[in-house]
Amino acid sequence: MKHHRVGLCTVAICLIVWAEPAVVQETAPPPNSLPAATRVQPVPQNVLAPQAPAEQPSALPPVHSESVIGIGDLIEIAVYGAPDFAKQVRVADSGDISLPLLGNVHVAGLTIRDAELLVQTKLSDGGFFNDPQVSIFEREYATQGISVLGEVQKPGIYPLPGPHLLFDALSAAGGVTPRAGNSITITHRTRPQQPETVRLAANENLPTESNVPVYAGDTVVVSKAGIVYVVGDVRVPGGFVMENSRLTVLQAVALAQGANPTAKLDRTILIRKKDNGHEEIPVPLSRVMSAQVADPQLRPEDIVFVPRSATKAAFRRGVEAALQTAVGVAIYRP
pLDDT of residue 206: 63
Rounded Cα–Cα distance for residues 196 and 39 (Å): 76
Identify the CATH class of 145-224: alpha beta
* pLDDT (mean) for 124-139: 86
Asked whether the predicted pLDDT for residue 84 surpasses 50, the reply is yes
pLDDT of residue 31: 45
* pLDDT (mean) for 307-332: 56
pLDDT of residue 317: 55
Q: Which percentage of the chain shows pLDDT scores above 70?
A: 69
* pLDDT (mean) for 255-262: 89
* pLDDT (mean) for 261-269: 88
pLDDT of residue 11: 41
**Of residues 244 and 104, more confidently modeled:** 104
Strands 156-159 and 145-150: antiparallel
Asked whether the predicted pLDDT for residue 63 surpasses 60, the reply is no
Which of 211, 259, 213, 212 has its CA nearest to residue 236?
A: 259
Asked whether the predicted pLDDT for residue 220 surpasses 90, the reply is yes
Asked whether the predicted pLDDT for residue 143 surpasses 60, the reply is yes
pLDDT digits (tens, 9 = 90+) for 149-180: 998 999 998 887 667 889 889 999 998 888 88
Return the CATH number of 74-140, one of 3.30.1950.10, 3.40.640.10, 2.130.10.10, 1.10.760.10.
3.30.1950.10
pLDDT of residue 103: 87
**Of residues 60 and 256, more confidently modeled:** 256
Domain with CATH 3.10.560.10 in the chain: 145-224, 227-312
Rounded Cα–Cα distance for residues 126 and 333 (Å): 118
Mean pLDDT of the residues in the chain: 74
pLDDT of residue 278: 85
**Of residues 300 and 163, more confidently modeled:** 300
Contacts of 115 (CB under 8 A, 6+ apart): 69, 75, 107, 136
* pLDDT (mean) for 62-71: 59
Domain with CATH 3.30.1950.10 in the chain: 74-140
pTM of the model: 0.50
Residue 322 Cα distances to 31, 261, 311, 326, angstroms: 125, 17, 16, 6
Q: Per mean pLDDT, which range of 77-91, 110-124, 201-215 is the poorest?
A: 201-215
- Given pLDDT bands bounded at 50, 70 and 90, which one contains residue 188? confident
pLDDT of residue 191: 80
Rounded Cα–Cα distance for residues 72 and 142 (Å): 5
Strands 268-274 and 303-306: antiparallel
Rounded Cα–Cα distance for residues 251 and 265 (Å): 15
pLDDT of residue 329: 46
* pLDDT (mean) for 179-202: 83
Asked whether the predicted pLDDT for residue 106 surpasses 80, the reply is yes
pLDDT of residue 222: 92
pLDDT of residue 148: 93
The dihedral built from the CA positions of residue 292, 296, 297 and 300, taken in this order, carries a sign that is negative
pLDDT of residue 309: 78
Rounded Cα–Cα distance for residues 157 and 221 (Å): 12
CATH T-level assignment (fold) for domain 227-312: Outer membrane lipoprotein wza fold like (3.10.560)
Residue 326 Cα distances to 310, 322, 329, 330, angstroms: 24, 6, 5, 6
